[in-house]
Structures are given as C-alpha cells and as structure tokens.
Amino acid sequence: MQNKIVVLSLLLLLGACSTWLGEEKRVNVDGERISVLVYDKSIKPEEDVKIKLPRPEANNDWPQAGGYAHHSMQHLLISKYPREAWSKSFGKGSDSRNYLLIEPIVANDTVYVMDVRSIVSAYRLKDGKRLWGRNLTPKKGDNVAIRSGGLAYSSGVIYASTGFGEVIAFTADKAKKLWSYNVGAPLRSAPTVYEGKVFVLGANNTAYALSADKGEMIWQNENVADETMVLGSASPVADNNVVVFSFSNGDVRAYRADNGNELWLDNIASARRISGSEQIQSVLGRAVMDNGVLYVTGFGNITTAIDIRTGARLWEKDMGGINQPYVAGKYVYIVTDSGELVALTADKGSVVWVTQLPIWHDEDEKEGHITWRGPILASNRLIAVGSDGKVYAISPYSGKILGYEDLNKPIKTAPIVAKGYLVFVTDNAKLVLYR
C-alpha cells in the first residue's frame, strides 16, 4: 500500500542531534512545507493560541489497544531523560506474508505481546524476564497470511483476537485457557473490553459483542462489506454504554453497548484512489471518546468530531491517515498520511500548528517512503515513530522537533506508556522499553 502512494515533493533539512529529548542539541526542520500527496490540500495554521495542557499523570497500566476502552489517555508521565531499560526478542516479526501490527499491552507489572505466528508472550515489566508463552494458532491455520489481531486485559484475564477468526480468553498469570469463540471471519484488530463484554470487528465488516466471562455471543450487527482489502482495522471504542465501530467502507456506527441497538450512523469516506480503479475508504485509526465527543480519522482524507449523543458532526477537516487522534485537554494531535503532525483545537478543529516529519529514507533520491505511527503525549513530549526506526520527540506547544532516537529497525505500531516506561515493538519482533 505504501508503494502506491503518489508523492510530489518535500524540502526538508535535518540537523544532527545526540539526545532525542533535545535538551543538548536540537533538530531543526527548515524549508517550505509542501504537501506530499496529490490528493492532499495544504494544511496551514488557522488560529494563534497558546496551548495549555493538563499536568502529566502516571498510569500503571495500558490494558488494551488505545490504553483504555475510551482511548483518551491525555497527558502521561515519563522521566525527563528516558534511557533504554531492556529489550527482548519475542518471536517472529514481519515477513512477505504476515505483518506485525499488534501493539503490546501492560497490566499487573507485565508486558504482553503477540508475534505474527499468533504466539502470545508475557514478560516481567521491571527486567524483561519471560514468564510464559502460548500459541494461539489452530492446527489447520498455519497457511493464513496477514493474521494480525491483538490483545486486551481485564480483571486477570487476557483476551486475544486472531486472524483465524477466534476470540480466546486465558488467565493472565499462567495462560490457562478459559474459553474461545470463532466468529467465522478473520479479526484484524485488537478486542475492546468494556462493562463485561468483548467487542471485536470482523474482516467481513460485522460487529460482534461477546460476554467476557463465558465467551457467548450477546449481539452482532452486519455492515456492507468493502471489496478493497486493507491491512488492519480499527478496534472499537466504548464509554457510557455506547460502543462505536469504524468499518472498512467508511461507516462509523454507534450502538448501545448492552443490546447492540444502533444509535446513529455517519460515513467519513472520501474515496482515495490508489491505482487504476482501486479506492480506499477505510477507517484504520482508532476513534477516541472524550467529554461526549468522538474524534475519528479516516484514510479517505477526513478527520471529524462527532457528538456521541446525537451523531451530529461538530467539525470536520480535510486530512486523513491511519493513526488514532490523540486528545489531551482542549487539543487534538494527528499524524496525517503525508507525515504532517497537526495540532488542532478540540472544540472547533482549528489548526494551531503543523510540522512536517521526514518522509523519505533517502531524501536526496526521494526513495523509501516513511510511514508514521502515533503520536502519544508523555511529559511535555509528543512521541511519534517512523517506519525507518526513528523515534521523534516534538513539542506539543509549538510543533518544534526536539530530537530523535534511532532504534535501527522499522516500527509499524504506535508506542505505549505504562508505569513510567515507554514501550516499543519493532518490525522484527523486538520489545524495547525505555525509562
């Protein structure tokens, strides 16, 4: 999919730096920012405001994709100068048939990860000691490509979704299987656990709700399937008895979490042509619920804020991507598919600042397109990771690039924060923790 992105041009000059938090040396980005995609309009600041953020707060856990079920993690706490604490290889990484897109989770001082073979491993947070491993591949499932899936934790139980269509529950301490349920379609994203239910989205564009204790089907809702295959999907978001699913045809549907009754429907598709007659309208980034508002970004070049109660759009912007918007206080941060990190006001969607991140492995030859994951906000740093293996720290107040750290391996998953640790997963299935 990256190879199909059409690029115009970018003028970018990077200075060297020795510390990725930027206290000793700074990274300067100069030159005119030129939009890199033919279908993308230039994003420019619209409102001159002084950004004020809530104080950083410590979080002990990151129990599911997006943090908690509502995905609104605000301003997290890490040390001023994080250093690598430990790293471990945890299995098989990406290859030509399977892609490591599964984010880690943290609960009860343990890091849980899953590799492309659907092997789940548990590591002690403080020192990386491996506690156990469990293979979730069924006997006849070895030849399935693009497996994906993901993990979630709740009340001592790990819930895993797999590309084989199974949702599996097992104890977090010893990996003892409790139940499993096959929905009959591959599961490309992590489950969302909320109020005693496990919500998953099938590759057949069907929303499922299972009971967390027994794995029984509570409700399901089908949506129109999209013929264009996309890599991955968005985990559902839930809060206040509302669960929202983002589908591959651009539909965003809100249901009552308890019984599955539909509350409202929106569609954020603005079809993006990638080659010939192929189009992508999917929503790949997780949506966020915060203060009664749903923030969602689609790959079809739309970011919007929706009133969760009524389904009415509060604002929309002509910018798209594959990442979850990050909400902190009165502001929303987004990394677009053209590598722009954008700060917007949460109430109006006004652009406060825009920073162009590097988009080429080889800037001189314009080769090797870099995709970005994130951001996450931790101790007055926005942290974004690139597919070139670099981790960037950016000021959330001005958009200035402060510095970067090179992990030397591609990264295709967003970082997470728990108990003061920054947790990364590289494309070759290496777990890297900074503190």
Per-residue model confidence as pLDDT tens digits over 76-114: 999 989 999 999 999 999 887 788 889 999 999 999 999
Q: What is the pTM of this model?
A: 0.89
pLDDT at 121 over 50: yes
pLDDT band for position 21 (cuts 50, 70, 90) = low
pLDDT value of position 226: 61
pLDDT band for position 224 (cuts 50, 70, 90) = confident
pLDDT value of position 283: 57
| Domain locations in the chain as residue ranges | 2-434
Is residue 281 packed enough to be buried (19+ CB in 10 Å), middle (13-18) or exposed (0-12)? buried
pLDDT band for position 206 (cuts 50, 70, 90) = very high
CA distance 221 to 69: 20
Q: How do residues 273-312 score in pLDDT, each as one tens digit?
A: 444 333 444 557 899 999 999 999 987 689 999 999 999 9
Please state which CATH number belongs to domain 2-434.
2.130.10.10
pLDDT value of position 231: 59
Q: How do residues 361-419 score in pLDDT, each as one tens digit?
A: 888 878 889 999 999 999 999 999 999 999 999 999 999 999 999 999 999 999 999 99
pLDDT band for position 12 (cuts 50, 70, 90) = very low
Q: Which among 5-9, 165-169, 221-225 has the top mean pLDDT?
A: 165-169
